[in-house]
Amino acid sequence: MDALRQSVFASQDYYWEPWGDDEDEAGGARPRPATLDLLLEDEQIQTEGTHSILDVYRVLGPGEEPEYCTVEPVGPDEARRVAGTERLTREHVPAMGPLASRRWFGRCAVLHDAAGHPEEIYFWGFSGD
């Protein structure tokens, strides 16, 4: 998740309002922060979020209760219920969508290739409108 967060920050693929209350002294647009830490310290971002993976901070372990700004892995029982299998693939992604139904809480699932080998981790959820 950390690598994904760094990639999203570096690509600037997140919500940023350049015309907020913090316009620069010349009345121009606010520049994007130079670091992820500075972005997350921004008051507007703390209130509205980035509408991206940057709004979540950690993946929960087994048995942990979901908390604000966390990601909960799809468990075997959920996978079987929504997809009929524990070995999820990209084809199962649409069926998993409803598992992320609360704002500011994310989900993730390990997706497998055609041979049943883990291939990627898929993250989804809602942090904004």
pLDDT in tens, 67-79: 889 999 999 999 9
Specify whether 18 is located in the same domain as 3.
Answer: yes
Which residue range forms the structural domain that includes residue 100?
56-129
Alpha carbons within 13 angstroms on the beta-carbon side of residue 49 total: 16
Identify which has the larger pLDDT, 77 or 29. 77
Specify whether 2 is located in the same domain as 40.
Answer: yes
Torsion, Cα of 65, 68, 73, 79 (10° steps): 80
Specify whether 38 is located in the same domain as 69.
Answer: no
- What are residue 76's phi and psi, to 5 degrees? -60, -40
Specify whether 28 is located in the same domain as 62.
Answer: no
What digits encode the pLDDT tens for the residues 83-124?
999 999 999 999 999 999 888 899 999 999 999 999 999 999
Q: How far apart are CA 108 and CA 74, in angstroms?
A: 6
Specify whether 68 is located in the same domain as 30.
Answer: no
Specify whether 67 is located in the same domain as 77.
Answer: yes
